[in-house]
Amino acid sequence: MQKREELYRGKAKTVYLTDNEDYLVLHFRNDTSAFDGQKVEQLQRKGMVNNKFNFFIMNKLEEAGVATQVEELLSDDEALVKKLDMIPVECVVRNYAAGSMCRRLGVEEGIPLTPPTFEFFLKNDELHDPMVNDYHIVSFGWATEAQIAKMKELTFKVNEVLSKLFADGGMTLVDFKLEFGLFKGELVLGDEFTPDGCRLWDKETNEKMDKDRFRQGLGGVVEAYEEVAGRLGLML
Ligand code: TMP
Ligand code: ASP
């Protein structure tokens, strides 16, 4: 498939059209952003690490029966994906309190959430991704009730599959964010699953191994992502 012109430049990935209208090329850049794009830095190797990491995780999810947009690894930092009509909300599942939940509810980081919680956020940097509920999503026509139910079901399924995968590598999956879209009417997992969009703590020491290292200026960001990959048996 031939790569064509740029369709969209996100904060960490650029999306290109191809000569087939059903497929896109995702280019994972080294750009790393936090706080809705207010903090941006280039981190060596991050595009490559996240591209390969995403391909690995999406394949695990496919094996578990979750349809994803990923088709093929094209190069170190590019992948071929299905072109989805994206639903403009983010699906977040939390197994432990962290991040915005602690700020919003004044709870301590690390409190276990039983059962895990589910939250929707509107994808809108200018508004700082406000939390929205099912009614907002239906009333504004962002998704149907059936699609909402399916997004919840699939996000919890991903939580089950990946909590176990990371636990086997000595890590705790604290929380994560997913984005879905429609491909020929079917709900499909899009965007990415990388340490940029989840929280992972070492099971023994609780050391942070995800983008919180960047948000909090802890250093060793890409090194931590590489450690996560290594623990899952992924050769980069
Ligand atoms: P939060 O604690 O900032 O709400 O984030 C919860 C999880 O979702 C965390 O792992 C980071 C991820 N996330 C993103 O990757 N991008 C986003 O825009 C948001 C709101 C969350
Ligand atoms: N993904 C968002 C950003 O890049 C939010 C975050 O990760 O802090 O700004």
Q: What is the pLDDT of residue 71?
A: 98
- Residue 226 resides in a domain: no
Q: What is the pLDDT of residue 19?
A: 98
Residue from 11, 29, 33 to probe ligand 2 pocket by mutation (most atoms less than 8 Å from CB): 33
Asked if 29 and 109 sit in the same domain, the reply is no
- Residue 113 resides in a domain: yes
- Residues in Cβ contact with 190 at an 8 Å cutoff, skipping those fewer than 6 apart: 68, 69, 81, 84, 86, 179, 180, 181
Contact predicate 80/18, CB 8 Å: yes
Q: What is the pLDDT of residue 101?
A: 98
Report the number of distinct structural domains present in the chain: 2
Q: What is the pLDDT of residue 90?
A: 98
- Residue 53 resides in a domain: yes
Q: What is the pLDDT of residue 63?
A: 98
From first to last of its 236 residues, the chain has per-residue pLDDT tens of 899 999 999 999 999 999 999 999 999 999 999 999 999 999 999 999 999 999 999 999 999 999 999 999 999 999 999 999 999 999 999 999 999 999 999 999 999 999 999 999 999 999 999 999 999 999 999 999 999 999 999 999 999 999 999 999 999 999 999 999 999 999 999 999 999 999 999 999 999 999 999 999 999 999 999 999 999 999 99
Asked if 72 and 104 sit in the same domain, the reply is no
Half-sphere exposure of 193 (CA within 13 A, CB side): 32
- Residue 233 resides in a domain: no
Asked if 72 and 108 sit in the same domain, the reply is no
**Atom in ligand 2 nearest the alpha carbon of residue 196:** 7
Asked if 208 and 177 sit in the same domain, the reply is yes
CATH number where 204 lies: 3.30.470.20
- Residue 231 resides in a domain: no
Give the C-alpha separation, 40 to 80, whole Å: 26
Asked if 78 and 104 sit in the same domain, the reply is no
Give the C-alpha separation, 97 to 102, whole Å: 6
What strands, in cross-sheet order, belong to the sheet with 3-9? Answer: 3-9, 13-18, 23-28, 78-82, 70-75
Residue from 30, 32, 36 to probe ligand 2 pocket by mutation (most atoms less than 8 Å from CB): 36
The token duo for 136 is 């907002």
Residue 11 CB less than 6 A away from ligand 2: yes
Residue nearest (by alpha carbon) to ligand 1 atom 18: 129
Last residue of some domain: 82, 110, 130?
A: 82
Residue 233 Cα to ligand 1 midpoint, Å, equals 25
Residue from 119, 166, 175, 212 to probe ligand 1 pocket by mutation (most atoms less than 8 Å from CB): 175
Asked if 153 and 213 sit in the same domain, the reply is yes
Asked if 197 and 93 sit in the same domain, the reply is yes
CATH number where 33 lies: 3.30.200.20
Last residue of some domain: 27, 54, 82?
A: 82
Q: Name the β-bridge partners of 72.
A: 80
Residue nearest (by alpha carbon) to ligand 1 atom 21: 177
- Residue 228 resides in a domain: no
Asked if 47 and 112 sit in the same domain, the reply is no
Asked if 201 and 91 sit in the same domain, the reply is yes
Say which ligand is closest to the CA of 33.
2
- Residue 195 resides in a domain: yes
Asked if 8 and 32 sit in the same domain, the reply is yes
Query: Per-residue DSSP letters for 119-168?
Result: EEEE--GGGT--EE-HHHHHHTTSS-HHHHHHHHHHHHHHHHHHHHHHHH
User: Range of 54's domain?
Assistant: 3-82
Residue nearest (by alpha carbon) to ligand 1 atom 2: 99
Say which ligand is closest to the CA of 103.
1
Asked if 28 and 61 sit in the same domain, the reply is yes
Last residue of some domain: 82, 116, 133?
A: 82
Query: 189 in helix, strand or coil?
Result: strand
Asked if 160 and 124 sit in the same domain, the reply is yes
Give the C-alpha separation, 14 to 7, whole Å: 8
Query: 182 in helix, strand or coil?
Result: strand
Residue 172 Cα to ligand 1 midpoint, Å, equals 16
- Residue 21 resides in a domain: yes
